[in-house]
């Protein structure tokens, strides 16, 4: 979350393609965001993908951006918040992007239904058994259909920090 706040307060302004594969952990177990500021290179690279990969890449994309004929390559800050919610769901449920319990839809079917804007909106599964209720509420707020209803990155950071009930673990290797 701090990485997203940094990007939003820099000249870059937004990530645009935030997804779990762009989140890496360093040797001190600190999450780092990668692949930002590369929107000018992406448009040519995306054109050669097969249909499944094309739609799979869009599972993290906010509905309003999916509906645009030519979304802005750098994305939007509210789009990043939506993507952050999808990444949270992946981590909380330990499942793939946009996991839907009991609905085996292809990435294309998911994207098509999100683009249609059907009511109720198609969103990933929230499982209160797998995470705290607060984390579930945060994810759902990040996925709001209307971008103005999504939390500001600062508020999402505070909410994710306070709902994180993970206890630090001693990762040192015992001496023999």
Name residue 32's beta-bridge partners.
24
pLDDT at 162 over 70: no
Give the model's confidence band at 141: pLDDT under 50 very low, under 70 low, under 90 confident, else very high. Answer: very high
161: tokens are: 């920090």
Domain, as residue range, for 89: 49-149
Residue 94 located in a structural domain = yes
DSSP state of 143: T
Question: pLDDT tens digits, residue range 111-128?
Answer: 999 999 988 999 999 998
For residue 64, being part of any structural domain is answered with yes
Q: E strand or H helix at 31, and its extent?
A: strand 31-33
**CA torsion angle 150 4 84 94 (round to 10):** -150
How many structural domains does the chain have? 1
* pLDDT band per the 50, 70, 90 thresholds, residue 138: very high
Tens digit of pLDDT for each residue in 9-61?
777 777 888 888 887 888 888 877 777 666 555 554 555 567 899 999 999 99
For residues 101-111, one letter each, b for 16 or more C-beta atoms within 10 angstroms of the residue's C-beta and e for the rest, the string is eeeeeebeebb
Lookup: tokens for 44 = 């040519």
Kindly report the CATH number assigned to the domain that includes residue 108. 1.10.510.10
> Does 120 sit behind a cis peptide bond, omega within 30 degrees of 0 on the bond before it?
yes
**pLDDT at residue 22 in the model:** 81
In a domain, 137, yes or no: yes
By CB atoms closer than 10 A (0-12, 13-18, 19+), residue 153 is: buried
Q: Does the pLDDT value for residue 101 go beyond 70?
A: yes
Establish if 97 belongs to a structural domain: yes
pLDDT of amino acid 176:
40
* CB-side neighbour CA atoms (13 Å) of 105: 21
Residue 73 lies in a domain: yes
Q: How far apart are CA 102 and CA 85, in angstroms?
A: 20
Whether residue 28 lies inside any domain: the answer is no
Rg (C-alpha) for the chain, rounded Å, is 17
Tokens 């690279």 sit on residue: 45
Q: Is residue 132 part of a domain?
A: yes
- Phi and psi dihedrals of 31, rounded to 5? -75, 135
Write down the pTM of the prediction. 0.79
């Amino acid at each position: 979350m701090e990485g997203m706040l940094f990007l939003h307060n820099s000249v870059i302004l937004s990530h645009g393609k935030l997804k779990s594969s762009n989140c890496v952990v360093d040797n001190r177990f600190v999450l780092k965001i990668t692949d930002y500021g590369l929107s000018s290179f992406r448009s040519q690279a995306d054109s050669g993908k097969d249909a499944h990969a094309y739609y799979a890449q869009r599972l993290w994309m906010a509905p309003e951006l999916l509906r645009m004929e030519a979304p802005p390559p750098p994305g939007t800050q509210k789009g990043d918040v939506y993507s952050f919610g999808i990444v949270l769901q992946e981590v909380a449920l330990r499942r793939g992007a946009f996991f839907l319990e009991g609905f085996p839809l292809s990435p294309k079917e998911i994207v098509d239904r999100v683009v249609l804007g059907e009511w109720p909106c198609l969103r990933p599964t929230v499982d209160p058994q797998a995470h705290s209720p607060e984390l579930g509420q945060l994810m759902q707020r990040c996925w709001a259909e209307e971008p103005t209803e999504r939390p500001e990155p600062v508020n999402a950071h505070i909410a994710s920090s306070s709902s994180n009930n993970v206890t630090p673990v001693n990762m040192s290797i015992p001496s023999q």
